[in-house]
Structure 1
Amino acid sequence: MERTRVAKVEDVTLARRGEQVIGTLHLTPHHIIFSHIPSLPDSAPPATPARPKELWITYPIISFCTYRPAPAASRQPSQIRLRCRDFAFVCFYFANESKARDVYESIRLWTCKVGRIEKLYAFTYQPPPPERELNGWEVYNPLKEWARQGVTDRDGHGWRISRINVDYGFSPTYPALIPIPSTISDNTLNYAGRYRSRARVPALTYLHPVNNCSITRSSQPLVGVRQHRSIQDEKLLAAIFSTSRSERPLATCSPPNLERESSNASPVGESSVQPLGDITNTEELENEILAFRGESDSKQQIYGAQQQNLIVDARPTVNAFAMQAVGLGSENMDNYKFATKAYLGIDNIHVMRDSLNKVIDALKDSDVTPLGPNRDQLARSGWLKHISGILDGAGLIARQVGLQHSHVLIHCSDGWDRTGQLSALSQICLDPYYRTMEGFMVLVEKDWLSFGHMFRHRSGHLNSEKWFQIENERIGGDATRGFGESGGAGKAIENAFLSAKGFFNRDNTSRDSLPDSDGEMQSYDSENPGARKPSSAPRSVVSEKEITKVKETSPVFHQFLDATYQLLYQYPTRFEFNERFLRRLLYHLYSCQYGTFLYNNEKERVESKAKDRTRSVWDYFLARREQFLNPKYDAVIDDHKRGSERLIFPRLTEVRWWSEAFGRTDAEMNGTRSGSTPSIYRESSSTERTPVLTGIETADQTTTTGTAATEPTSSASADMAAVTSGISSLAFHKSKENGEDTRTMGQMEVEMQ
């Protein structure tokens, strides 16, 4: 109890949604507990004792805390306002200012001074009897799941399981078992790993049982300004796209007036790219470079004829090109003539974090007022636009695999944020198994936990002093807006190239070394990216105490759950689990009660012995299975019966606010629905509808167009029709029904920071 200045405070007033109750506040090492005796209804028998009600708040779920002392010479009480990651907003009022300050300091110390993951609640949690008999860690067995898909140790449908990473020496952020084409040797894979960021090579994540077409995932290639190439990477991708042949090849179309895109000569042979060193924050680097480019840069896209197989770069085109300046980038399609590349235009983690902050701004007074959220602020947040973009990309991938009988490779920057979203959602669209409760658990384990996602960094489990403030003085900077990101374009480019200098001049040349940095570049302080950390800082302090890097936090997994909710809402009979299942999973993402979401990759979980020392979050759901079952679920799969088809595809016109996740009613978030106008566009007439696809590139033909400010002309419409006739699944929105904004393929929206 060394951190608790006060363990119990009587006569505390709790305000929530404009209602107030008086009770007792308890502070434990892992929870804030508020208990009160509710008033009995008049109809209750006189002798009926009132049962106390309790509100439990775990420290890691606190996302912002404000302490406001009582003004001098005023009778107003002191107050502590909490904003939680599950979108609960509460305010505590104290008559005694001294006790209020002690409570604030205790909360801050318990929340921010944990120092190590191993001190979180998951490592002391004792499950109740229903959970005690279960072992959710056994839900996912990679060999069993690959066998279900038809992939075996030796040769299954042209695939085998490589054990090159069994000790995590090949790629520390990848799973121990990596499915690759049977024709690719581990030696070839080893060389190919030198060409992909963090050695996250193209690897199988899903094999379609009907046509044997695949979804593979990877990180970005190390192309750079010199247009490096890797024969081994090209051989690997060619083998992946040759594991099956489409029975119904796509028709090739050639839009008129195509211009051949000039390309730099690429050296033949193995890539001579620099090793990655220990840089870990490529999203941050991408953001800084884009900030410098500014609005003056021409936002051009490319499109061309669709080929049989597809490389999906989830980033906006300009983001991918900008990363070439620091040795990264996107595939040069002159070297991958067996595929087409599509840029999806999904923004990075910083844009998504800012979007959620804007949603919170619309909800942040939920503790002291019963009023609904500001609908204009909700619309301006862009949250639904981002969810629609992710769903649109997943729909594109699902159509390519399920309908067009094609292979798809997905990547973004490091291949563990946008890539995870697109990969998992497209599999939900393709495979009914992943729409069962067990299948969804397997999907999360495979595509998020095994293939790696930075849960510890994105979720901010160890919290930060920046999220605590006294009165109006913020500790450590702005708590919601950028954290020291100001400084203009000149500062941004200076930071970008300083980062690039550090990127190419590392003492430790390991591609995946993450010592001390925990997700950010070691050479630069998170508060001032242009300033070097003192070299005299004792390494023991860094290694023994971990902190949350605020710029690394982002609601990536939250967006995946939100997008899954959209599919569940649109197809209520096709999912075995209900909306509450997703909502409770979002809560436990932040609760730190279970060990499932505490680490960034499989290697960290193995080294920390998480399966022996913590419980799996699936214990919680399996012990209460009946609570999370969907009564409307229909397990029958029949492609000849409408509504029972194997495949489902997102309907973007029905994207809506997941009101339950934000702690609001449907009426408050979505309003009164009328007609068929999609809520995302009805809420704000100024919201522009941006196609998810911002560019298509092939080796043979490309074209670039400027940003369109008007509706396409008849010739442009004809060109678009020619393109879409060959890419029937790309989900371009050409119709002006319901007042939708029609955009040409050259239209692209990139949010600059």
Structure 2
Amino acid sequence: MAARPWMDDGASQHCLLCHQAFSFTNRRHHCRSCARLVCGACSSRSMRLESIQRPSSSIRNVGTQLAKTTLATAASMLTTTTNESERVCDDCWARLGRGRSATPPPPSHHADDDVAYDAELMDVAADGIRNIALEVRAPDGRVLSDGNSFSMTLPSSTRVAGAYVIVTARDKSKSSAVRDDVVGRGRVFLEEGQRHIQLLRDGGVKGTVLVKATRSSAKKPLQVATIPPQTSKHMWPVALSELYPPGTTVHDACFEHINGTIVPASEQALDAFADVDRGCLIVTSHRFLHVAHTLDVISVPHASILNVEVVQRDDALVLVLTTRSYKSITFSSRSATNRDWSWCRSEWQWRVGEDRFYARPEAVVTADHDDNDDEDEDTELLSRLGLNDLDDRALRRNRLKRFIEPQKERAPSQSGADVDLGAEFARQGVATDARWRFTQANSSYDLCATYPPLLIVPAALSDARLKEGSRWRSKRRVPVLTWYDRASGAALIRASQPKSGITGAHVDDAALLHVRAAAARSRGAVAARLDDPTAFDDEEGFANSSPYKSTTAPILRICDCRSIVAAKANQLAGRGHETTSKLGGSRAATLEFLDLENFHVIRNAKKRLSEASTLEDYYRALHESRWPVYVQALISAAKVVADHLDRGDPCFVHCSDGWDRTPQVCALAQIIVDPYFRTIKGFAVLIEKDFCAFGHPFAMRSGSKGEGEAGPVFDQFLECVQSLRRGAPASFEFTESLLALLKEHVYSRFFGNFLRDSDAERCGDDAVSVWRVVESDPGRFSSPVYDSSASRRLPVLSKPSADVELELLRARIRALEK
């Protein structure tokens, strides 16, 4: 084999394949086959080359060694033949047969099902270049033609792999010594007829080629393939819903349907890579979509990905996706090059930075209406809900909830993008209790930026005193009511930790004191005693004046979700926990610590569990991560709160900031004691109320604002709900399909419910609500064994960790078998 000219190091300042500039970290290398200058990423493979001879110009480093070697030795350095593996670029790897690796034989097929095409390339045009040569390659690198015509047969078993060809235009006017002669490349999907394709390079269009293709084999009915025949009828990008139209298996797996519309509505397929894990990997504007030849679908939304890496395993390049739930998903290919996977990674980075996954088509966005009738109807609705001071914001929300039919006015649903707090509290019956009142002190989010505008506080507590007391609570999250029992008058109150410090001498806890007063079940009996906290030691008056028949006086149960060690540590930092002596002593209030771990510990446990690759490692990870123990502890904590509420005692729950463990415990306790929240609509209201409206930081915990603040808080809550449902399936109207839907889209950012950290940040969002999916097809999430006459109190297993561990093992085995 004749010696090939070796490109000088200074011939190019960038890689001739990926066009990345060379630098101290991005070193230049020579391909031992074509002798071009490439970077390390584009020449990461090696293969055995026959009769390789190093060119004479490769003596660049030999000159300094001539004094140490004989002339014969120096001559042997110029032309050395070796059978060892040599560094090659990605192009030569594909051109020379992918390293002559052992490729599994394709599945058997009938030759009669093969499809053959004859194609002709005409009317080649490029910017200022007249002498152009065309080269046509198959996706696996095989050269089909060096001229203007070629033929190609697509076997039925590998039709996806050969659905297109790559046309490369080269400038023949350049010297043969110059290897950077590529004008541009284009992708041609084979179909009958003629059309123009673009020759692309460096992100720009360098020319066009007219391609005319004729099918030479007989036409037969098309079978459902990984990439349907419609693919070749479009120029990339193309709408994903056009590639997989409604009614196909892939379409139903990719999109959620809402009364004739699809979500995400404007998803574009950007490119497709064949021969990826016995299927095709499609990169869209919203996700990585892998469709196997068996039509099994793996969808990984861009927003749910934490990191993308490219690694080499044996003779294949592997694209490794690490999700925000710490799962590792791999796609391997023997034909894909480093440029392909690098483009996938850069596309993911760009799409995540743009963050438009939840955007709806402009034609669907509801414009502001100036119709007076519409305004009158909205005003009347707001008046009935007692929200007249929130006209502008509520109007936006009502329009958001009517996004499917913008011109059709209808009342907002209870399970909308934002919960109707007024209607929910009216259902609970708190509006009929004179001890509590609605306040709009937070209508402009001045009181607390992470609370909703509508709050329920003790009736004797003025707005001025409420604002003053917010200074002594972390994040200004004052005690407010989130659930009320109409039968017993018991209330569930939530807040954040107090800023008590070591002494607690300067804490103004008037809000909690009034909560204690309202908990006495007779506001009139305690109104005169608000100025004297010690008067609460006498509980007999409260019991006798209560309209509810109770043998014991109510006691305010303060449940701190943290451990006592964590609470004391926060006390050293100027925060801390409540002091029962200031609330009337042990006969008036009790304090107990629920010993729940913070989100950092939960994140590490979930990460350890997700890193397990084998069944044995997974079983070991269950014990090492203590994930089932943490799930059990959270359920047990919710059971403690539920027991207090069942006894008629008010319960006050908080953690550090009141937005992680607090909504978990409060929501689970409400599921246990209130059967309404075990229905589909009630479960939607519960999540929107206790997580979305009261400021659970979804964006922060999903990792959108940094990995350090990420944590699977909502995932753990859904895991607990799943465990409760397994213990009493007849008590739940919804199935695990609803939990799986929420678990998927809490990271996907396709829906507006989980995009932001607070209710205030959602004011400007015009995003689709995930509950519209549930409303459009309730039968999909309804349980056939649901019994609406089941007992009011949900039975809770005392030690469910073993059941959780067993279910996790079963789910893992099913995933491995699949």
Which TM bucket (shorter chain)?
0.5 to 0.7
1:175 aligns with 2:452: yes
Residues 13 and 93, structure 1, Cα contact 8 Å, conserved in 2: yes
Deviations 1:276-323 (A, max 9, x none): xxxxxxxxxxxxxxxxxxxxxxxxxxxxx9982211110010100101
Query: Which among 80, 83, 91 is matched to residue 319 of structure 2?
Result: 80
Does 2:582 correspond to 1:325?
Answer: no
> How far is 1:140 from its partner?
2.6
**Partner of 2:643: helix, strand, or coil?**
helix
User: Is 1:222 matched up with 2:472?
Assistant: no
**SS of residue matched to 1:164:** coil
In structure 2, the partner of 1:147 is: 426
Q: 1:167 is paired with a residue of what secondary structure?
A: coil
SS in 1 for 2:291: strand
Once residues 30 and 125 of structure 1 are traced to their aligned partners in structure 2, the CA distance between those partners, rounded to angstroms, is 17
Under a length normalisation based on structure 1, what TM-score does the superposition of the two structures give?
0.59
* Letter of the 1:312 counterpart: C
**Alpha-carbon distance between aligned partners in 2 of 1:632 and 1:666, rounded to the nearest angstrom:** 25
The match for 1:616 among 746, 769, 780 is 769
How far did residue 126 of structure 1 move?
A: 9.7
Instruction: Find the aligned partners of 1:343 and 1:603 in 2 and give their Cα distance.
Output: 31
1:355 aligned onto 2:605: yes
Counterpart in the other structure of 2:797: 651
* 8 Å CA contact retained: 1:33, 1:57: yes
Give the drift of 1:69: 3.5
CA contact (8 A) 2:450 2:759 kept: yes
> Could you tell which deviates more after superposition, 173-182 or 138-147?
138-147
Aligned residues: 481
Aligned counterparts of 2:618 and 2:349: Cα–Cα separation in 1 = 30
Find the partner of 1:204 among 470, 478, 481. 481
Corresponding position: 1:392 with 2:636: yes
The reply to whether residue 601 of structure 1 matches residue 755 of structure 2 is no
Give the match for residue 587 of structure 1: 744
* Partner SS state of residue 510, structure 2: helix
For 2:511 and 2:429, locate their aligned partners in 1 and report how far apart those are by CA, in whole Å.
Answer: 24
Is 2:679 aligned against 1:436?
Answer: yes
Question: Are 1:410 and 2:653 counterparts?
Answer: yes
Q: 2:77 aligns to what?
A: none
> Are 1:94 and 2:333 counterparts?
yes
1:137 maps to which residue?
Answer: 416
- What corresponds to 2:468 in structure 1? 191
Query: Which of 1 and 2 has greater Rg?
Result: 2
* d(CA) in 2 for partners of 1:199, 1:425: 24
Question: Take 1:572 and 1:147, find their aligned partners in 2: how far apart are those partners?
Answer: 28
State the Cα distance separating 1:210 from its structure 2 match.
1.3
- Tell me how far apart the structure 2 counterparts of residues 418 and 340 of structure 1 sit (CA, whole Å): 20
Cα distance, 1:603 vs structure 2: 0.5
Per-residue CA distance 1:128-186 (angstroms, 9 max, x = gap): xx99459752673111111111123xx63421111100111110100101101111111
Superposed displacement of residue 96, structure 1: 4.5
User: Which amino acid is 2:759 matched to?
Assistant: E
Unaligned runs of 5+ in 2: 1-201, 205-235, 238-268, 365-401, 406-411, 524-532, 535-551
The residue matched to 2:426 in structure 1 has which SS? Answer: helix
**Counterparts of 1:443 and 1:413, CA distance in 2:** 21
Residues of 1 paired with 2:665 and 2:727: CA distance? 18
Contact 2:417 2:768 in 1 (8 A): no
The equivalences for 1:478-557 within 5 A come to 548-557=705-714
Per-residue CA distance 1:446-504 (angstroms, 9 max, x = gap)? 100111100001012x3xxxxxxxxxxxxxxxxxxxxxxxxxxxxxxxxxxxxxxxxxx
Amino acid at match of 1:386: Y
Confirm whether residue 628 of structure 1 aligns to residue 781 of structure 2.
yes
1:236 correspondence with 2:514: yes
1:85-127 Cα deviation digits (max 9, x unpaired): 5676532223346x3444244335424663365x334455999
**Larger fraction in strand:** 2
Structure 1 segments, 4+ long, off by >4 Å, are: 1-7, 85-89, 122-127, 133-136, 656-664, 666-671
Q: Is the 8 A contact 1:583 1:661 kept in 2?
A: no
Q: Relative to structure 2, which stretch is displaced further, 596-605 or 616-625?
A: 616-625
1:448 is aligned to 691
CA distance in 2, matches of 1:418, 1:78: 42
Larger RCO, structures 1/2 (Cα 8 Å, 6+ apart): 1
Q: Structure 1 residue 192: deviation in Å? A: 1.2
Code of the aligned partner of 1:573: A
Equivalent residue, structure 2, for 1:309: 556
Shift of 1:627: 1.1
Q: Distance in 2 between matches of 1:653 and 1:595?
A: 36
Deviation at 1:386, TM superposition (A): 0.6
The residue number in structure 2 matching 1:486 is: none
Judging changes above 3 Å, is the alpha-carbon distance between structure 1 residues 242 and 431 closer, same or farther for their aligned structure 2 residues?
Answer: same
**Which whole-Å CA distance do the structure 1 matches of 2:743 and 2:758 have between them?**
19
Asked if the contact 1:164–1:186 (Cα under 8 Å) also holds between the matched residues in 2, the reply is yes
Stretch moving more, 76-85 or 405-414: 76-85
Q: Distance between the aligned counterparts of 1:121 and 1:664, measured in 2?
A: 34
- 5 Å-filtered alignment, 1:705-724, equals none
Q: Distance in 2 between matches of 1:84 and 1:61?
A: 6
Q: What is the CA–CA distance in structure 2 between the aligned matches of 1:626 and 1:122, rounded to whole Å?
A: 27
Letter in 2 for 1:186: D
- Residue 274 of structure 2 aligns to a residue in which SS? strand
1:605 positional shift: 0.4
State the secondary structure of the residue aligned to 1:551.
helix
Cα drift, residue 233 of structure 1 = 3.6
SS at match of 1:69: strand
Q: Deviations for 1:533-578, whole angstroms, at most 9, x for unmatched residues?
A: xxxxxxxxxxxxxxx3111100111111111111111111101001
- Asked if residue 578 in structure 1 is aligned to residue 725 in structure 2, the reply is no
| Residue number in structure 2 paired with 1:536 | none
Matches of 1:661 and 1:85 in 2, distance apart?
A: 22
What's the offset of the Cα at 1:659?
A: 8.4
Change (3 A) 1:10 1:205: closer
Mapped to 1, the partners of 2:659 and 2:276 lie a distance apart of 43
Contact 1:86 1:586 in 2 (8 A): no
Question: 2:215 corresponds to which residue?
Answer: none
Q: Provide Cα deviations, 1:333-374, integer angstroms capped at 9, x if missing partner.
A: 221222100011101110010110111122x46xxxxx5653
Q: Is the counterpart of residue 13 in structure 1 residue 276 in structure 2?
A: yes
User: RMSD in angstroms over aligned alpha carbons?
Assistant: 3.5
2:304 matched to which residue of 1?
A: 61
Q: By how many angstroms is 1:235 displaced?
A: 2.9
Q: 1:53 to 1:354 in 2, by over 3 A?
A: closer
1:422 to 622, 642, 665: 665
Where 1:12 maps in the other structure, the secondary structure is coil
For the pair 1:31 / 2:287, whether they are aligned, the reply is: yes
2:345 is aligned with 1:107: yes
3-state secondary structure, aligned to 1:212: coil
Deviation at 1:593, TM superposition (A): 0.9
2:46 corresponds in structure 1 to none
Secondary structure of the residue aligned to 1:35 is strand
Structure 1, gaps ≥5 residues long:
15-20, 39-51, 246-266, 269-304, 366-370, 463-547, 637-643, 672-753
